[in-house]
Chains A and B, each alone.
Chain A
Amino acid sequence: DGGITQSPKYLFRKEGQNVTLSCEQNLNHDAMYWYRQDPGQGLRLIYYSQIVNDFQKGDIAEGYSVSREKKESFPLTVTSAQKNPTAFYLCASSVTGVTFNEQFFGPGTRLTVL
């Protein structure tokens, strides 16, 4: 079955620690995205990548880093510089067409800072 997987489902982090969230897709999509969702604030774009070895900052990139070494994988690192990292993190992917951009989501990772 084609799809997007994220791991872990739940993650607990101590203050000052960096953590890496995994996102893998086997849909053969070129583009991948990371969003953060907080209650009442909707989806906010952290980083996105339209091709391997290239990525762009989204609206709230500070305190986060990404890499795109393989088409299938787009891991997100939440660094200690992120002031309020507790949130629901969503990874998505899409084809890169002229007008489309239907994004398909993984199940998400819920990060809690202790």
Chain B
Amino acid sequence: QKEVEQNSGPLSVPEGAIASLNCTYSDRVSQSFFWYRQYSGKSPELIMSIYSNGDKEDGRFTAQLNKASQYVSLLIRDSQPSDSATYLCAVNINAGNNRKLIWGLGTSLAVNP
């Protein structure tokens, strides 16, 4: 069974700190990795995608991918109370001609003013 694992949290950080969210996956041939943010009662919103080893930065967000270790992380710099949400990690798998995402259960982040 291909899996994506995340710490459920809650992860609590003070405003202005760096929040670090981690995700591991089991399928070695996965090539596409995504981070979504989901506010309570709302639908997931794509915030980062990463396809190559290394870092990818977009504003206050940095995604880090290490395919050898099967590990992808999301760093949020200068965390704000508005970043308080559940962060979902998703990994693309190719099952024959069909492609779908495998989802982690999410990490709850609380940014305290």
Residues of chain A whose beta carbon lies under 8 Å from any beta carbon of chain B: 31, 33, 40-43, 45, 48, 50, 56, 58, 90, 96, 99-108
Are B42's CB and A108's CB within 8 A?
yes
Complex: chain B residue closest to A91, CB-CB = B43
* The stretch of B20-28, B74-82, B100-108 that contacts the partner chain: B100-108
Report how far A42 CA is from B31 CA in the complex, Å. 22
A108 and B43 in contact, given A42-B103, A42-B105, A58-B100 (Cβ under 8 angstroms): yes
8 contacts between A and B (CB under 8 A): A40-B105, A45-B100, A96-B99, A99-B92, A101-B32, A103-B34, A103-B101, A104-B46
**Closest Cβ of chain A: how far from B39's Cβ, in Å?**
12
Q: Does B111 contact A (CB under 8 A)?
A: no
Q: How large is the interface on B (under 10, 10 to 19, 20 to 34, 35 or more residues)?
A: 20 to 34
Are A100's CB and B92's CB within 8 A?
yes
Report how far A31 CA is from B92 CA in the complex, Å. 14
Closest 9 CB pairs of A and B: A105-B43, A42-B105, A43-B103, A101-B92, A99-B31, A108-B43, A101-B99, A105-B44, A99-B32
Q: Which residues of B contact A108 (CB under 8 A)?
A: 42-43
Complex: chain B residue closest to A101, CB-CB = B92
Q: Does B49 contact A (CB under 8 A)?
A: yes
Are B45's CB and A101's CB within 8 A?
no
Complex: chain A residue closest to B97, CB-CB = A50
Are B98's CB and A56's CB within 8 A?
yes
Report how far A33 CA is from B101 CA in the complex, Å. 10
Are A102's CB and B100's CB within 8 A?
no
Which B37-88 residues have a C-beta within 8 angstroms of A? 42-46, 49, 51, 88
**Closest Cβ of chain B: how far from A111's Cβ, in Å?**
14
